[in-house]
Structure 1
Amino acid sequence: MNWGKGILVTIILFVAFIMTLVVISVKQDDIHLVTENYYEKEIKYQEQIEREKSAAQLNREVLLFDAASKVILLDLPIGAKGELQLFRPSDARLDQLLPLEIKDSGKTSISLNQLKPGYWRVKLTWVEDGVEYYEESKITI
């Protein structure tokens, strides 16, 4: 074997290796973006900041997590409406969106026993007396 054949074999092996990597990367189906409509949410981010400021001015903790019993406690008044998003950064297929409408006084409890163990972000958005609020908590189940 001479130099020409060695160089040709090396180039062919390199191209085959690169093509194998391309095929493997194209076949992956578990790539998840943080959010589907990223640009729309980026434009509305100032509204989100205002919701967070409103929630910070409340004199109570609205979103509490009890790790021992795997329960989220919500301290919302009667008539408050909103949604609770359970966001799993590592797998978008596990995300859940729960609508909320508070009809009873006292703290509302939501069980998280059915969720897969691991890291979760809990995002609570609600409207109380015509004012929008947002609070987020990072939990590990």
Structure 2
Amino acid sequence: MSTQEKQKASHNLYGVEPYQVAKGEEYMSDSMRKHFIQILNGWKQELMIGVDKTVDHMKEEAANFADPADRATQEEEFALELRARDRERKLIKKIDKTLQLIQDKDYGWCESCGIEIGVRRLEARPTADLCFDCKEVAEQKEKTVGKG
């Protein structure tokens, strides 16, 4: 693979090229929504493959070790994998919620202030529901509350 091909591949979002907004195109047009559906479905598919691999790995690796240290090591490894899968399960739910927002034509606008979140921000974080400014304010509030 050439350097140019590697750069192009690294800019793909789950097999989808970055969106090129046409001059005068309305925000969250049909083609823009289709673009984000492709990204979200690709992301979800990737997560689900990971879940399947974990289940297969745990079935293959499950052993009843006689040595308590070996058994504890395996149990800790499985616990870490399960925590990671739980985070991914929650992310899959968020992806499904986002796909529903797209279907309802409510996707792409900040839940806090109502402005456009923006195509590039949504490509960076397709499940984003706050614009950059509102997200910063929310994070500052979290830091302040966390210190109290």
Is this a same-fold pair by TM over 0.5?
no
Rg larger in structure:
1
Higher strand share: 1
Normalising by structure 2, we get a TM-score of 0.21
Higher helix share: 2
